[in-house]
């Protein structure tokens, strides 16, 4: 009787009890998962697996937050809340992502390329972002491909950038970019006597520098055949993170449409200028650049893929990949370099005077190699990378029980997320490694952060508090390598650091020696600086339009 009454009561209360369970289950789940997280994070046991941060719904884990907030902001929020417990795991359904914060852990991952590979990340990027066909994805995953295709991939992605875009081979490429940028800016009707206002610095120079880089690498024919390539590329670039997440067209139609146009435009250019199997000219006696076919680097790159039997769609995706690798970080970092220099007129004057030493009037080109080797330029380049380039990369554990250190081991299949900005903004680590680097806050730009000053007795040495004086010294990254790690998009679609530095140096040389530039309202620009560490990675942009004034520099004018 009692049992029947109880059963009847439960049946009558089934709906309210279900509702109560649905309400309380997430809270109970969060409480239990939080307890497990803290207990494992604080455990002194050796060889343990990293803990999973608290979650509300079993099986779903952190998927809803990753989708609704976005990975960039969500990981930034997690680092602020749980950063002291790192390493920790974030789960999206069955997929687990490990977040590392210890620079020694990061270096261990980067120095273990066989155990932790970028293969899965690369395949996903080529598939979801660049739209590569399934036949090509086999090549990137190193499964079911011929030895010829395997060798082609390694040669084009690793060897060719070193062959064509470093050392003496880079000099004519840099000279070509310099002359292209100079001609482009001189065609803008800037005057010598009067200042011309550019209302939106970012948009203006993004378009200008992008056009010049594309012309340098791919030839002027690409821009003539496909006039909207610059606009379409940056429209596509705005959707990179969503492409990576695999979001469908109806969620981001503009970015998908832009990629479709890029594919059509690039394929048309390839069919017109890279048809057949004997289109490329990259011998020692061949010209460095061809208006129709592009640079030797691009010609040989596409030639190798064509001879490895990649179809036109795969070759098109490869061109888009190297286009992205040549623009996505280079252009924003160059723009930030210009902004930060213009915010400090004394720095602009000092840098201009230094550059002018390597551009004597009787020589038509700049000595870009020497400029990139200037200690001040190298320090500025490193500082922009530290402060304004919040990059990331992913490695996947290919082995079980990979030993991160004595305390932590990683299971097979675990994805490891590496974030440059988290380490580059850690004051405690920088102060411990080299106290001088935090004499000014890591949250602000300091051009001389990576310089070891000359002796105090030098006539150039000044009291550090005098911000109007540029210190000189030698560039030194010794001991800071683990704290200053930038991920340039991966070896597969990166032109390399030498190319990036050369393009940046050439841009500064043209802008500051052939022209004068100044901010219209420095105080307003200070208010437009983006907040630091709100997002874990991604391109930083000013919060609004920055207006500048430009005029041509008189030939006899002194700096």
pLDDT-based confidence at residue 20 (cuts at 50, 70, 90):
low
Phi and psi at 18, nearest 5°, equal -65, -45
Res. 276: pLDDT tops 90: no
Is 521 strand, coil or helix? coil
pLDDT tens for residues 72-100? 999 999 999 999 999 999 999 999 999 99
Residue with tokens 């002796």: 455
Adjacent-strand bridge partners of 451: 475
pLDDT tens for residues 35-69? 999 999 999 999 999 999 999 999 999 999 998 89
**Residues 20-37: b if buried by 16+ CB within 10 A, e if exposed:** eeeeeeeeebeeebeeeb
Of 342-351, 387-396, 454-463, the poorest mean pLDDT is in 454-463
Q: What is the pLDDT of residue 166?
A: 96
CB of 72 within 8 A of CB of 537? yes
The C-alpha atoms of residue 219 and residue 231 are separated, in whole angstroms, by: 17
The C-alpha atoms of residue 325 and residue 54 are separated, in whole angstroms, by: 36
Q: Please state which architecture CATH assigns to domain 166-198+329-391+439-451+468-482+499-553.
A: Orthogonal Bundle (1.10)
Please report the beta strands in 226-360, taking only residues with DSSP state E, as ranges in sequence order.
Answer: 289-290, 294-295
Would you say the C-alpha torsion 12, 18, 19, 21 has a positive or negative sign? Answer: positive
pLDDT tens for residues 231-272? 999 999 999 999 998 888 998 999 999 999 999 999 999 999
Res. 467: pLDDT tops 80: no
How many Cα atoms within 13 Å fall on the side-chain side of residue 419? 28
Would you say the C-alpha torsion 361, 362, 366, 372 has a positive or negative sign? Answer: negative
**Inter-CA distances, 187 with 40, 183, 552, Å:** 64, 6, 11
Give the contacts of 95 (CB within 8 A, at least 6 positions apart): 415
Through-space distance between the first and last CA atoms of the chain, rounded to whole angstroms: 101
Pairing of strands 95-99, 415-419: parallel
pLDDT tens for residues 38-47? 999 999 999 9
CB of 533 within 8 A of CB of 425? yes
CA dihedral 308, 313, 319, 325 (to 10 degrees): -110
Check whether the bond before 355 is cis (ω within 30° of 0): no
Mean pLDDT of 463-485: 80
Structure tokens at 209: 């520098």
CB of 167 within 8 A of CB of 368? no
HEC secondary structure over 62-128: CHHHHHHHCHHHHHHHHHHHHHHHCCEEEEECCEEEEECCCHHHHHHHHCCCCCEECHHHHHHHHHH
Domain with CATH 1.10.630.10 in the chain: 166-198+329-391+439-451+468-482+499-553
């Amino acid at each position: 009787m009692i049992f029947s009454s109880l059963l009847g009561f439960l049946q009558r209360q089934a709906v309210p009890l279900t509702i109560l369970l649905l309400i309380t289950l997430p809270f109970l789940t969060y409480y239990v998962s939080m307890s497990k997280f803290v207990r494992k994070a604080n455990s002194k046991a050796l060889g343990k697996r990293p803990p999973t941060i608290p979650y509300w719904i079993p099986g779903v884990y952190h998927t809803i937050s990753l989708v609704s907030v976005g990975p960039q902001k969500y990981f930034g929020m997690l680092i602020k809340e749980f950063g002291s417990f790192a390493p920790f795991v974030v789960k999206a359904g069955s997929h687990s992502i490990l977040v590392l914060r210890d620079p020694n852990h990061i270096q261990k991952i980067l120095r273990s390329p066989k155990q932790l590979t970028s293969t899965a990340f690369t395949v996903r990027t080529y598939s979801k972002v660049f739209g590569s066909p399934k036949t090509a994805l086999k090549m990137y995953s190193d499964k079911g491909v011929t030895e010829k295709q395997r060798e082609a991939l390694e040669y084009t992605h690793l060897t060719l950038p070193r062959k064509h875009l470093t050392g003496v081979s880079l000099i004519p490429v840099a000279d070509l970019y310099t002359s292209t940028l100079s001609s482009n800016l001189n065609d803008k009707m800037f005057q010598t006597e009067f200042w011309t206002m550019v209302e939106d610095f970012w948009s203006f120079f993004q378009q200008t520098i992008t056009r010049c880089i594309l012309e340098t690498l791919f030839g002027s024919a690409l821009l003539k055949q496909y006039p909207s390539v610059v606009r379409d590329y940056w429209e596509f670039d705005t959707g990179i993170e969503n492409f990576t997440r695999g979001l469908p067209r109806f969620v981001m139609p503009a970015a998908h449409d832009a990629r479709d146009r890029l594919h059509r435009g690039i394929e048309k250019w390839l069919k017109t200028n890279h048809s057949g199997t004997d289109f490329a000219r990259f011998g020692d006696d061949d010209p460095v650049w061809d208006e129709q076919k592009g640079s030797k680097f691009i010609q040989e790159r596409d030639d190798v893929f064509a001879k490895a039997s990649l179809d036109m769609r795969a070759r098109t995706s490869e061109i888009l990949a190297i286009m992205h690798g040549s623009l996505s970080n280079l252009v924003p970092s160059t723009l930030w370099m210009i902004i930060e220099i213009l915010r400090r007129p004394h720095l602009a004057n000092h840098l201009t005077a230094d550059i002018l030493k390597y551009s004597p009037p009787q020589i038509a080109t700049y000595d870009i190699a020497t400029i990139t080797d200037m200690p001040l330029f190298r320090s500025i380049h490193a500082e922009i990378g530290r402060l304004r380039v919040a990059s990331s990369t992913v490695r996947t554990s290919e082995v079980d029980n990979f030993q991160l250190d004595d305390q932590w081991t990683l299971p097979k299949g675990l994805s490891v997320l590496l974030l440059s900005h988290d380490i580059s903004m850690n004051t405690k680590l920088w102060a411990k490694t080299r106290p001088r680097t935090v004499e000014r806050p890591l949250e602000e730009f300091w051009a001389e952060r990576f310089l070891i000053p000359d002796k105090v007795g030098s006539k150039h040495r000044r009291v550090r508090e005098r911000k109007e004086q540029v210190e000189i010294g030698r560039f030194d990254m010794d001991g800071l390598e683990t704290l200053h790690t930038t991920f340039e998009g991966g070896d597969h679609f990166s032109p390399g650091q030498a190319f990036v530095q050369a393009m940046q140096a050439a841009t500064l040389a043209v802008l500051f020696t052939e022209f004068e530039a100044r901010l219209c309202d420095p105080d307003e620009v200070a208010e437009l600086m983006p907040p630091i560490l709100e997002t874990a990675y991604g391109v930083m942009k000013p919060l609004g339009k920055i207006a500048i004034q430009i005029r041509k520099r008189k030939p006899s004018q002194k700096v």
